[in-house]
């Protein structure tokens, strides 16, 4: 079973998404977002390569992957097989300018 490690960027964006969801859409929406992220991370523990190769980051050596969380959000992560660790690098709002993802991660 792979270990899940949140990067600072990933954790801060996740926290911001939860706070925004609660403020704008209520506690139920924030809970649904939380549940979806939790479900996705549990799946990554078992199957770290299930996400798709992130097309916006293919030039990077880390082999970044993406996994859709809900509607317009995806989790950006990479897997270090030697250490069996999944690093969650970002929670990406897909409505943003795609060119900015490379600068963020």
**For all residues of the chain together, what is the average pLDDT?**
91
Q: Encode pLDDT of 54-75 as tens digits.
A: 888 888 888 999 999 988 899 9
As a whole number, mean pLDDT of residues 25-46 equals 96
- Asked if the model's pLDDT at residue 28 lies above 70, the reply is yes
Domain ranges of the chain: 3-99
As a whole number, mean pLDDT of residues 12-35 equals 95
pLDDT of the residue at 34: 96
Angle between helices 8-25 and 27-46 (to 10 degrees): 150
Measured CA to CA, the distance from residue 45 to residue 96 in angstroms comes to 28
DSSP 11-25: HHHHHHHHHHHHHHH
- CATH entry 3.40.640.10 includes domain 3-99: no
């Amino acid at each position: 079973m792979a270990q899940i490690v949140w990067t600072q960027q990933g954790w801060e964006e996740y926290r911001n998404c939860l706070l925004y969801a609660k403020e704008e859409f209520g506690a139920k929406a924030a809970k649904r977002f939380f549940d979806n992220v939790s479900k996705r991370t549990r799946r990554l523990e078992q199957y770290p390569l299930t996400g798709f190769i992130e097309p916006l980051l293919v030039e990077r050596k880390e082999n970044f992957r993406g996994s859709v969380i809900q509607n317009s959000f995806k989790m950006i992560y990479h897997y270090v097989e030697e250490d069996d660790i999944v690093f969650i690098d970002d929670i990406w709002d897909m409505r943003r300018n795609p060119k900015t993802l490379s600068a963020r991660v």
